[in-house]
Amino acid sequence: MKSFPMDEMDKSALCVRGLTKRYDSLQVLRDLNMTVPEGCIYGLLGPSGCGKTTLLNCIMGNLHYDSGSIYMSCKKQSQLGFMPQDVALIESLSIFEMFTYYGRMFGLSPSKIEARAEELKSLLQLPPLDSWNGCLSGGEQRRVSFAVALLHDPEFLILDEPTVGLDPLLSQSIWLYLVELTTKSKKTIILTTHYIEEARHAHMVGLMRGGNILAEAPPMDLMSSHNCSTLEETFLIFSQADEQSHKLPDETIISQEPSLKLWSPITKQTSFSFSRFKAQLLKNTLYVTREVPLLLILFLMPIMQCTFQNVAVGLDPTKLPIAVVNHDHYDCAHIPTHTHACDWESPISCRFLNYLHHATDTVHIVNKHNLLEAERDLKKNNVWGLLYFAPNFTQAIAARYVNASVLNTPDEVLDTGAVNVRLDMSNHVVANIMTMDLSTTLIDFFRKLFHECHWPDTVVQLPMRIEEPIYGTRRPVFTHFQSPAILVAFDFYLPLLFTTAFLLHEKVSGVLERTMTVGLTPLELILAHLVLQVVITNLQTALMHFIFYVLFDNPFVCSVWLPFLLSFWQAMSGMFLGFFMSAVSNSHVMAMMSGTGIFFFVTFTSGLLWPLEGIHSSMRDLIWWSPLALSTEAMRGITARNWPITHPHIYKGFLAITGWSTLFIIGTYLVIKYRGFHYRK
């Protein structure tokens, strides 16, 4: 590391020596030297891509550098004013609200904020202070952004392209103000600009090209020493000389891998400040309550999705058309409905079909004349199945159960007395439900018939008795299996989506970089978000539990607090993953794509679509490590079985969530520590 001569440091506000910085294989800053005297305007001039923004970020401590050293007279973030290249304004706030937000960040009192706002308004010809940032023109936004940098009257100003897109008169007045700031208030200002000629107003200019400062001196000295009448011309001469020197082997390119990560001497805030936390929390709350589409997504989406799930997913199919070919009796319509049960003259097939029609809603009978026609409909999927009653079905039943015993009834008679069922088995769910429904209805029909005839109905029963269930109902519905899983999935995804989208929006818009440059710490950022998220999560959870367990009759045999606690805990882990996602992602596209991948993996392995007991044996032990698997089981155990928190299924669910949350927190901590929360192009 190069050291500074003491006299140089005494007079300088900033001294940069031998600075190098590379992004992977791209060398951006090459052995760069720069000296900014105290109380001057330093104009950093250079073409696009020469490394100006990178240099400023290294100076402010937003980026580490690979070698070299930086000395700065100002050491605290609060002494620094920064205007980024992108305007980085909060669109849903008014100009005054944004001044208040940044003013609180800098610890200014409300009266001071008001006074500064009025002062800056007249100086920079700002629009009325109650105008929304989102409705300002590009030039107006730039002026507001400039005003934010000046708000706390900092000692050292770093302005990245402050005059782009401004009216020349306004540009001139800004330059005059900057000169006044340096002469009267002894401020030091570094600014970058593409407009080379306007840099004549600066006390010093640095001509930057290819990651290096080619020359730095007062603009007039530079021009006169090269006999030029414009700065533009002077820059051209330096650039041509630089181009020539690059035709020779380049000795300044640093080829070794950087081994150290060096940071600017600006001390980053580490302690927690309640006023910055409060400013961030109030700003977030204002943002959320003003964005109607966001509010709809936060609250209407869970309401709609929970409702749709309950009415559209997991309920048994109904009115499935089934073809009936009855060769036992062709015209059931004329059979009296109240026939005496033991009247064997009245066709059993017709009486069964009548019973089927009334006993179940699953199938809908479609009469067909012959098997050919029925099978054609089955193939075309016009019907889901086919019931066939052979001629003399009734007599065969009588022979089987009444006139003889099953043991001495010939096989042909047993065959004739069976309802032949052929189903479309290509749809697993529909086929299983129809098979189950037809068998139980047939058994129920015969039991009823035998009962009415005072015969022992055990003859027609399977040698098995289904007792009252310990948990659940005699006729379970798939939706009751799915509901706890859906609830846990929503608990997890809603905060994941909100946290990722919200923080990423701040990051990509540059607002986060700006606020973190002036002092907001990652802890304050995360805590302010956490408080808002807790409020939103509690409202969402209350809404979803109401829909699942009050509006729709999903099994809920427990107290209210334990499932609520599980939902809350699950939501917190979604939020922690959101912190991680927003810290690692640099774009909404990247976050959306990885979020979609996570969604599918986590959902498929949570037991939402199918019981995890059905998973391939090689994966069965591993799958319990899926983020939602154990918590889904815990939610089922609580709501359908009333298991207490001491039950292994339940505390394992809580432990799994805690374990995953810890992982997400550690991941976020590492990303922030080694990369920062800033946006990186």
* Residues within the interface to ligand ATP (CB under 6 A): 23, 26, 28, 46, 48-54, 85, 680-681
Rounded least distance, CB 236 to ligand ATP, Å: 18
Q: Which is nearer to ligand ATP, 70 or 93 (CB)?
A: 70
- What is the rounded distance in angstroms from the CA atom of residue 578 to the CA atom of residue 493? 9
Regarding beta strands 212-217 and 188-193, do their DSSP bridges make them parallel or antiparallel, or are they unpaired?
A: unpaired
Q: What is the DSSP letter of 297?
A: I
> CB of 510: closest distance to ligand ATP in angstroms?
13
Residue closer to ligand ATP, measured from CB, 32 or 571: 32
In three-state secondary structure terms, 302 is helix
- Residue 85 CB, nearest distance to ligand ATP (Å)? 6
Strands across the sheet containing 188-193: 80-83, 156-160, 188-193, 41-45, 204-209, 212-217
| Strand, coil or helix: 673 | helix
- Closest approach, Cβ 202 to ligand ATP, in A, equals 17
Residue 39: which region, alpha, beta or left (left: phi > 0; alpha: psi -120 to 50)?
Answer: left
- For residues 467 and 550, what is the distance between their CA atoms, to the nearest angstrom? 28
The nearest distance, CB 210 to ligand ATP, in angstroms, is 10
Q: To 10 degrees, what angle do helices 588-604 and 478-508 make?
A: 160
Nearer to ligand ATP, 132 or 195 (CB): 195
Minimum separation from the CB atom of position 679 to ligand ATP (A): 9
Q: Least distance (Å) from ligand ATP to the CB of residue 65?
A: 12
For every residue of 490-552, DSSP letters joined together read HHHHHHHHHHHHHHHHHHHTTHHHHHHHTT--HHHHHHHHHHHHHHHHHHHHHHHHIIIIIIS
Distance CA 483, CA 292 (A): 29
Minimum distance from residue 191 beta carbon to ligand ATP (Å): 12
Helix axis angle, 274-290 relative to 522-545, nearest 10°?
40
Q: Read out DSSP for 333-354?
A: GGS-TT--TT-TTS-HHHHHHH
Question: What are 19's strand-pairing partners?
Answer: 32
Give 14 or 374: the residue with its C-beta nearer to ligand ATP.
Answer: 14
594 Cβ contact list (under 8 Å, min separation 6): 581, 585
Closer to ligand ATP by CB, 26 or 466: give it.
26
Q: Return the number of the residue (189 or 353) whose C-beta is nearest ligand ATP.
A: 189
Which SS3 state, helix, strand or coil, does residue 634 take? helix
Minimum distance from residue 681 beta carbon to ligand ATP (Å): 4
Select from 329, 307, 435 the least CA-distant residue to 392.
Answer: 329
Q: Which among 496, 487, 499, 564 has a CA at the least distance from the CA of 531?
A: 499
Residue placing its CB nearer to ligand ATP in the complex, 199 or 423: 199
CB of 211 to ligand ATP, least distance (A): 8
Nearer to ligand ATP, 25 or 426 (CB): 25
Task: Note the helical H segments in 585-613.
Answer: 588-604
Tokens of 126: 């700002």
Kindly report the number of other CB atoms within 10 A of residue 217's CB atom: 15
Residue 194 vs 649, nearer CB to ligand ATP: 194
CA–CA distances in Å: residue 564 to residues 13, 309, 543, 567, 571 = 57, 19, 11, 5, 10
Other Cβ atoms closer than 10 A to 527: 15
Q: How far is the CB of 51 from ligand ATP (least distance, A)?
A: 4
Min dist. Cβ of residue 283 to ligand ATP (A): 26
51 versus 574: smaller Cβ distance to ligand ATP: 51
CB of 161 to ligand ATP, least distance (A): 7
Question: Whose Cβ is closer to ligand ATP: residue 30's or residue 52's?
Answer: 52
Q: In the complex with ligand ATP, which residue's Cβ is closer, 45 or 487? A: 45
Where do the DSSP E strands lie in 378-436?
Answer: 385-389, 420-423
**What would the two tokens of residue 189 be?**
């200002």
Looking at the Cβ atoms of 454 and 681, the one nearer to ligand ATP is 681
Q: Which residues lie closer than 8 Å to 622 by C-beta, 6 or more apart?
A: none
* Smallest separation, CB 57 to ligand ATP (Å): 8
Among residues 108 and 190, whose Cβ is nearest to ligand ATP? 190
Amino acid occupying residue 450:
F
